[in-house]
Amino acid sequence: MIPYGRQDITQADIDAVVSVLQSDFLTQGPMVPKFEAQVAKHVGATYALAMNSATSALHVACKALGLGPGDWLWTSPITFVASANCGLYCGAQVDFVDIDPNTYNLCPQALARKLEQAERDGTLPKVVVPVHLCGQPCDMKAIQALARRYGFSIIEDASHAIGGRYQGGFIGNGRYSDITVFSFHPVKIITTAEGGMALTNKAELAEKMALLRSHGITRDPAQMTHESDGPWYYQQIDLGFNYRMTELQAALGISQLERLDHYVAYRHQSARRYDELLASLPVVTPWQHPDSYSGLHLYVIRLELDCLRVSQRQVFDSLREQGIGVNLHYIPVHTQPYYQCMGFRMGDFPESERYYREAISLPMYQTMTELQQDAVVNALHKALRL
Q: Which residues bind ligand PLP (CB under 6 A)?
A: 53-55, 79-80, 82-83, 131, 157, 159-160, 183, 185, 196
Q: Which is nearer to ligand PLP, 129 or 206 (CB)?
A: 129
Q: How far is the CB of 234 from ligand PLP (least distance, A)?
A: 28
For residue 234, cis peptide bond before it (omega within 30 degrees of 0): no
Outline where 322-383 has alpha helix (H).
337-340, 350-358, 370-383
Q: How far is the CB of 222 from ligand PLP (least distance, A)?
A: 32
Pairing, β 165-166 against β 127-129: unpaired
CB atoms within 10 A of CB 319: 22
Q: Which is nearer to ligand PLP, 271 or 384 (CB)?
A: 271
Q: Which is nearer to ligand PLP, 169 or 186 (CB)?
A: 186
Contact residues for 385 (Cβ-Cβ < 8 A; gap 6+): 309, 310
Q: Which is nearer to ligand PLP, 157 or 247 (CB)?
A: 157
Q: Which is nearer to ligand PLP, 83 or 373 (CB)?
A: 83
Q: In this structure, what DSSP letter does residue 208 have?
A: H
Q: How far is the CB of 185 from ligand PLP (least distance, A)?
A: 4
Instruction: Report d(CA 42, CA 44) in Å as an integer.
Output: 6
Q: How far is the CB of 162 from ligand PLP (least distance, A)?
A: 11
Continuous segment of H or E residues that includes residue 117: helix 108-121
Q: How far is the CB of 82 from ligand PLP (least distance, A)?
A: 4
Q: How far is the CB of 193 from ligand PLP (least distance, A)?
A: 10
Q: How far is the CB of 81 from ligand PLP (least distance, A)?
A: 8
User: Contact 170/57 with Cβ under 8 angstroms?
Assistant: no
Q: Which is nearer to ligand PLP, 135 or 383 (CB)?
A: 135
Q: How far is the CB of 58 from ligand PLP (least distance, A)?
A: 7
Contact residues for 154 (Cβ-Cβ < 8 A; gap 6+): 127, 128, 129, 130, 140, 143, 144, 147, 176, 177, 178, 179
Q: Which is nearer to ligand PLP, 218 or 256 (CB)?
A: 256
Q: Which is nearer to ligand PLP, 52 or 153 (CB)?
A: 52
Residue 373 Cα distances to 159, 257, 283, 301, angstroms: 24, 25, 16, 14
Q: Which is nearer to ligand PLP, 249 or 285 (CB)?
A: 249
Q: Which is nearer to ligand PLP, 155 or 278 (CB)?
A: 155
Q: How far is the CB of 79 from ligand PLP (least distance, A)?
A: 5
Instruction: Report d(CA 85, CA 91) in Å as an integer.
Output: 10
- Judged by DSSP in three states, 89 sits in helix
Rg (CA), the chain: 22
Contact residues for 51 (Cβ-Cβ < 8 A; gap 6+): 57, 60, 195, 196, 197, 198, 213, 243, 244, 245
Among positive and negative, which fits the CA dihedral 177, 143, 60, 234? positive
Instruction: Report d(CA 272, CA 102) in Å as an integer.
Output: 18
Q: How far is the CB of 329 from ligand PLP (least distance, A)?
A: 8
